[in-house]
Amino acid sequence: QVQLVESGGGLVQAGGSLRLSCATSGRTFVGSYAMGWFRQAPGKEREFVAAINWSGGNTYYADLVKGRFTISRDNAKRTVYLQMNSLKPEDTAAYYCALVRGSGDPLKYDTTSYDYWGQGTQVTVSS
């Protein structure tokens, strides 16, 4: 079984920054896997934020976060990151990381494509 554990969430003022981390553990894949970040606000559906392929050379962002968020990964540490800058109150949500087996090319932005999910970390942006 694979476990994904998010960390780094919290309360921040509008315009501030946070860096989320997602550490993978458990069963080791023989092969590659892509990672994604999603978020879900109260009363709304879970939505795509960003994705990154196995090598880290290909990334994809939702329009709402493009230019403000950056996804990256460190395969040696089995960790993916989401650097969030210029945060807005509308970024408030629970943030989830997800894993899909394979190189990740083309990158996936639908929730049904991902095989494993973390429990989420809360991000709250105050105005």
**pLDDT 10s digit of each residue in the chain, 127 long?**
889 999 999 999 999 999 999 999 887 566 789 999 999 999 999 999 999 999 999 999 999 999 999 999 999 999 999 999 999 999 999 999 999 988 878 898 999 999 999 999 999 999 9
Q: CB burial class (10 A; 0-12, 13-18, 19+) of residue 50?
A: buried
Dig out the tokens for 3 from the structure.
Answer: 């476990």
DSSP string, 25-60: EESPPSS-EEEEEEEE-TTS--EEEEEE-TTS--EE
Dig out the tokens for 21 from the structure.
Answer: 């981390």
| Cβ–Cβ under 8 Å, residues 91 and 84 | yes
